């Protein structure tokens, strides 16, 4: 069975500083990986996805992520954090099931941005 | 347009009430999902509909009854809920594909409180 681990429950960074959120996955085949962001009381917004090809993927809002098969990781990065980036971030692995695409989420990382 | 809409935004109901949550998408997606999200937790899959047919029920209690009247609409009928069912209920949609990487688009959610 697939699983996702986000080892950091909370992260605090200063505005303008760089950010890296960690994600490790476990899956027996080629993984399909996603990062979603959720503001309080809101739905999830897709930041970026990895299917195949270039291991460095670009997303919205200046985020990028790098897939490293050897480390089973898909870490999210941003060179300069803005106060509006404060939110909950979820990494997920997708598997085909029941005609749909079942997402297994990590437990999330809460990002706080200090002004 | 990548929008999934959900109504109502907030719902308070007693344990003997019957209510329904509604979800709509116009992206031509043929897979639709219901998730339940408790505070400080990742979303948990409840149901998957594929071509308007229920394809996955993640052992959800029968007091939750999903319905997919057409390819754009998804309902969740609620009856005799318990206070522990209070949560954010998220709807999502995606394309039908053998490619596991197809991303899901989430609605803003319905905040349900059972009194």
For B51-70, how does the pLDDT look when each residue is reduced to its tens digit (9 = 90+)? Answer: 999 999 999 999 999 999 99
Q: In this complex, do B31 and A96 lie within 8 Å of one another by their Cβ atoms?
A: no
Instruction: Specify the pLDDT at position B21.
Output: 98
Beta bridge partners of B110: B89
Instruction: Specify the pLDDT at position B96.
Output: 81
CA atoms of B71 and A106, how far apart (whole Å): 30
B93 near B31, Cβ under 8 Å? yes
Neighboring chain B residues of A51 at a CB cutoff of 8 Å: 99, 101
Phi-psi map region of A53: left, alpha, beta (phi>0 left; psi -120 to 50 alpha): left
Q: What is the mean pLDDT of residues A13-31?
A: 92
Q: Is the pLDDT confidence value at A23 over 90? A: yes
Q: What is the mean pLDDT of residues B45-50?
A: 94
Please give, rounded to a whole number of angstroms, the shortest distance from the CA of A110 to a CA of chain B: 9
Q: Which two tokens stand for residue B41?
A: 């937790």
Per the prediction, chain B carries an average pLDDT of 93
CA atoms of A42 and A23, how far apart (whole Å): 22
Instruction: Specify the pLDDT at position A31.
Output: 80
**Residue recorded with tokens 């999934």:** B4
Neighboring chain B residues of A54 at a CB cutoff of 8 Å: none
Q: Is the pLDDT confidence value at B1 over 90? A: no
Instruction: Specify the pLDDT at position B34.
Output: 97
Neighboring chain A residues of B6 at a CB cutoff of 8 Å: 43
Q: Is the pLDDT confidence value at B100 over 60? A: no
Q: Which two tokens stand for residue A100?
A: 């749909």
Give chain A as a DSSP string: --EEE---SEEEEETTS-EEE--EEE-SS--EEEEEEE-TT--EEEEEEE-SS-SEEE-GGG-EEEEEGGGTEEEEEESS--GGG-EEEEEEEEEEETTEEEEEE---EEEEEE-
Instruction: Specify the pLDDT at position B101.
Output: 58
For B101, the closest of A45, A90, A94 (CB atoms) is A94
Mark which residues 44-63 of A lie under 8 Å from B by CB: 44-46, 49-52
- Please report, to the nearest 10 degrees, the dihedral formed by the alpha carbons of residues B22, A87, A4, B49 taken in order: 10
Write out pLDDT tens, residues A62-83: 999 999 999 999 999 999 999 9
Q: Which residue has the higher pLDDT, B24 or A52?
A: B24
Give percent of chain B above pLDDT 90. 87
Instruction: Specify the pLDDT at position B99.
Output: 63
Q: In this complex, do A100 and B31 lie within 8 Å of one another by their Cβ atoms?
A: yes
pLDDT bin (cut points 50, 70, 90) of residue A8 is very high
Q: Is the pLDDT confidence value at A113 over 80? A: yes
Q: In this complex, do B45 and A108 lie within 8 Å of one another by their Cβ atoms?
A: no
Q: Is the pLDDT confidence value at A95 over 90? A: no
Please give, rounded to a whole number of angstroms, the shortest distance from the CA of A104 to a CA of chain B: 8
> What's B62's DSSP letter?
T
């Amino acid at each position: 069975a697939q699983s996702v681990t986000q080892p950091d429950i909370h992260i605090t960074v200063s505005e303008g500083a760089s950010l890296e959120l960690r994600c490790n996955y476990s899956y027996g085949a080629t993984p399909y990986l996603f990062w979603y962001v959720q503001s309080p009381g809101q739905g999830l917004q897709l930041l970026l996805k990895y299917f195949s090809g270039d291991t460095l993927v670009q997303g919205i809002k200046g985020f990028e992520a790098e897939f490293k098969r050897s480390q089973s990781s898909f870490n999210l990065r941003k060179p300069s954090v803005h106060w509006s980036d404060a939110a909950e971030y979820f990494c997920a692995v997708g598997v085909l099931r029941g005609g749909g695409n079942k997402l297994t989420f990590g437990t999330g990382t809460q990002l706080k941005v200090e002004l | 347009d990548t929008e999934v809409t959900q109504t109502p935004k907030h719902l308070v109901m007693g344990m003997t009430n019957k209510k329904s949550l509604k979800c709509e998408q116009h992206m031509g997606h043929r897979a639709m999902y219901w998730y339940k999200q408790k505070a400080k937790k990742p979303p948990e899959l409840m149901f998957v509909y594929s071509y308007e047919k229920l394809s996955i029920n993640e052992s959800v209690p029968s007091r939750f009854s999903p319905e997919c009247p057409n390819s754009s609409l998804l309902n969740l009928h609620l009856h005799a809920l318990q206070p522990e069912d209070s949560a954010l209920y998220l709807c999502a949609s995606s394309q039908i594909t053998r490619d596991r990487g197809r991303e899901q688009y989430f609605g803003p959610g319905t905040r349900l409180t059972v009194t």
